[in-house]
Structure 1
Amino acid sequence: MKKLFFGLASIALLFSACNNDTKEITLDQEIDMSDFYVYTDSADDLTNKSNTGKEINKTCGTMSNLNRLLAENPGLEKKMFDIEYHTRKLINAKGKPVGNPGGGGSDGGEPDIDVLRIEDNLNIVIPVYFHIILPNANDVSNAQIQSQLNVLNDDFSKLNTNLLPSGATNFINDATNTDISFTLAGIVRHNDNTSSWGTNDSVKRSYPPVSPSTQLNIWVCNLGSGLLGYAQFPGGSPDTDGIVILHESLPGGSASNYNLGRTASHEVGHYLNLRHIWGDGRCRQDDFVEDTPTSDGPNYGCPAYPTVNCSSTDMTMNYMDYTYDSCMYMFTDGQRNRMRAIFASGGPREIMIQ
């Protein structure tokens, strides 16, 4: 949405905020961080208006969880700042030759290896480890787990067969293949009578992640409070890294309108450094993606097209909104680049693809 590079004044502000472990950048890669934020007004996330005007509970607890983690760990904000800086540097440099603009550079204008890690069609394969924690953990079958993996692979590869809303021609070319796929690493089941785990990571501490630096851990359990899931952004503790989803949101589950497996697609988006598409700040804050429109809050149900907020048409079919599973359709190129940047050299999930 917002342009990510300005002048020397923004660079001066940036260097005053960063310590020595942030690499120096050249003038043709100046990075503006003035719009960066981590804390959000969680009240905006608790209750929102659907397109029918009926108040409903939030469906994703990721930002409330982030607020808690930031309060508990004063160093997390700096880590997330550095990750965002690294991401913006790569995206700004995307497709540009190394060296001064127009000068070709001393290396003959070859693209930076970090840029290639974003731009090429290298398929990033993420192993996934499922933790099933329910009174009867066998209530979730192996077939359901495989169906969930199939949904993730379809959604991240632009194979979702759901259709755009009638008339949504301005978004028809924005759906993209992220070249990120998922494979099963393992399943472990735990019989546990806990009726509501919430978003305080107690389920993760009770059943720790397996190799979180190289595997995506997904906890499937009872959540309560109207929640479908929550995730941890890159930069958080490895002891709690991964996503948690309501077992009823799995394909074939009993969560009405949210049982096609797209809660996992949404939460994995957070795990790969995507914000909610409305930026969690009404029209005041951005999701840091160039090709997604500004909005003032989540959309629910299957909104008619166009749905207009903040003087722009909402991309209600994006996986990072709150619409019904059957009405979610797409990630954008900007979201693709943002996700892939965390796997580049120096990125927080680099080790996953080494």
Structure 2
Amino acid sequence: MNGAGWIDPLVSLLPGIDGFAWPALLLALPLPWLARWLLPPRRGTGAALAVPFGARLARVQGGTAVATRGGHAPWLAWCAWVLLCVAAARPQILGEAVQPPQAGRELMLALDLSGSMSEPDMQLGGRPVDRLTAAKAVLADFLDRRAGDRVGLLVFGRRAYVLTPLTLDRETVRQQLVDSVVGLAGQETAIGDAIGLAVKRLRGGADGSATDPDQPRVLVLLTDGVNTAGLLDPLKAAELAADAGVRVHTIAFGGEGSLSLFGFQLPMPGAGDEIDEDTLRGIAEATGGRFFRARDTAELAGIYAEIDRLEPVERPGEAVRPRIERYAWPLGGALALALLAFAWARRRRA
């Protein structure tokens, strides 16, 4: 922290100071003394009057000058200069040791926005809501617990799109989640393309943002349907994910469906069977992940809590001691001494 071994003796003389950020600036300490002794004295350039008693007058002036110079207390200016040099070198102290968290995961969230996500067969706060609204509420709570992770958001319908690349800014991810609506990516469901795009971004996306190869990479995919669109077969996409070291947790979300009749929601038995649970289970098994089935909001919240437990967020990082600046104290002292020296000189002249 000191930057040079020669400064250690000086640091030991300053109580409460652990070092300097710019110790080389302390080399300026002897500059006023060097200037005083090495530079030639200033000579007057005004007109002079030759008198026969010039030598005696010079002796009188010399004696007066010596007396006056001693009365201006130059030691105040010297002390101010020393403090100014110390402030310029930026004295610092070490704060208490802290252990910052390290990111536990590279986590991508994939959310189905196909037309079936508008099915109003969920309950949230005692009122009926559609599947997407319920999923958003649970995902928002999940994001609150992922401090330390780099999280990205991907949505898919007929096509798959990345709304938020991997980032530590969870507030941006949450805002993009709020703005997502059914049909934004099309009315169909491209599960395979969603997995393929997520793997590409977790490996190092087209935007040039590389992921940390030492960090676990996880995809959490939520859907309420079957693969009806896209170019990539879901199980083939799962193989690509496994080769890239991406673990995929799949969530089949949806109730039994409902039919709106005169303002009432009537259940439709068999509507929930449209979810391709076998394919989602195969994707999870091929990548070392888990398959989950959620039929209501409470089950979905429990699933994300379980994923939160399976994928720990943070581990303690290397302990560090922050550097705290203390230049303000010597700088204030230098200013006070300079003002005192100026006031002293004016008082002597008065």
TM-score category (smaller protein): under 0.3
* Bigger share in helix: 2
Task: Compute the TM-score of the two structures, normalised by the length of structure 2.
Answer: 0.24
Task: Compute the TM-score of the two structures, normalised by the length of structure 1.
Answer: 0.24
Larger radius of gyration between Structure 1 and Structure 2: 2
